[in-house]
Amino acid sequence: MSSPSSSVVEARKALARRLKDIRSEAGLTGDELSARCGWGPSKTSRIQSASRAPSESDIRIWCTACGAEDQIPDLIAAARAVDSMYTEWRRMERTGLRAAQDSVAALYERTRLFRVYASRVLPGMVQTREYTAAVLRSIQRDRVDVDDVDEAVQARMERQKALLSGRHRFGLLIEEYVLRAAVCNTEAMAAQLDRLMSVSARSFVSIGIIPLGAGRAHLPAEDFYMFDEAEVAVELTSGYLRITQPSEIADYTRAFTNLASIAVHGAKARSLILSAIDALG
């Protein structure tokens, strides 16, 4: 699978280098290793160049052929870590949407500062039940066979109560378009915007609205969530990307700061929310 993140690419290359080093230390050529493993030389070449991710079975066979069985557990752990950086939606959601909600529960609980950039839908932590249901129902119809939308909505609502208890802080940057996007019916959207107004008054929540037509030098391609300085989650069209490499997290920190500089806050932000409410008629 492909991913735009250098975190994933570098982690794959690091694993490939370790496997190549094990082969070299065993005194084997690529052809000799391939023969011992029972596969073609091209597979060995692709694994060593990081163009093919080794399966856990591949790692076991490779290390056994090189007499390095003691390294198998560590290498399999490394491979699993690489695999966890990028998850296709169809894989994450194969048992339904509730599982996807539960998978991030621990991360949300331990995070103290959330920074979010939203260009398509409002951040989950400020959504009403009806808005969440509309968003998740749309996802379920589009790509998920299992219908557990009600359970997924309930999971998000329960997590939201804990998040808005005052133990966490939030910096939310929202494109004005999101305030006007017809995600749900008019009544539900009006209630959602009213909820956003209410949340914006809380001392631990900062909401910035990026006005339509605001000039900018750079626009992120996808929405992203920052969890303290430890991790960034990017919601790609094809899947969920976890970024943990410090240099990349720094890139998102700069992007968030730049976007915050063109957003309006306080009374001006509330004015844009009220304008969106008025537009609903």
pLDDT in tens, 168-208: 999 999 999 999 998 999 999 999 999 999 999 999 999 99
- What confidence tens digit (pLDDT) does each residue in 45-82 have? 999 999 888 999 999 999 999 999 999 998 988 888 77
Closest CA to 223 of 261, 262, 173, 263: 173
> Residues 200, 206, 209, 215: what is their CA dihedral angle, to the nearest 10 degrees?
170
CATH architecture entry for 6-87:
Orthogonal Bundle (1.10)
| Dist. CA 56–CA 78, nearest whole Å | 10
The two tokens of residue 267 are: 């009374």
d(CA 202, CA 197): 10
Please, which pLDDT band fits residue 2 given cuts at 50, 70 and 90?
very low
Residue 122: predicted pLDDT: 97
3-state secondary structure at position 268? helix
Q: Where are the beta strands (DSSP E) in 205-258?
A: 205-210, 224-227, 231-235, 239-243
Residue 84 has pLDDT above 80, yes or no: no
pTM of the model as a whole: 0.78
Write the CATH number of the domain with boundaries 93-279.
3.30.870.10
Listed in order, the ranges of the chain carrying CATH 3.30.870.10 are 93-279
Range 27-55 average pLDDT? 94
* Residue extent(s) of CATH 1.10.260.40 domains in the chain: 6-87
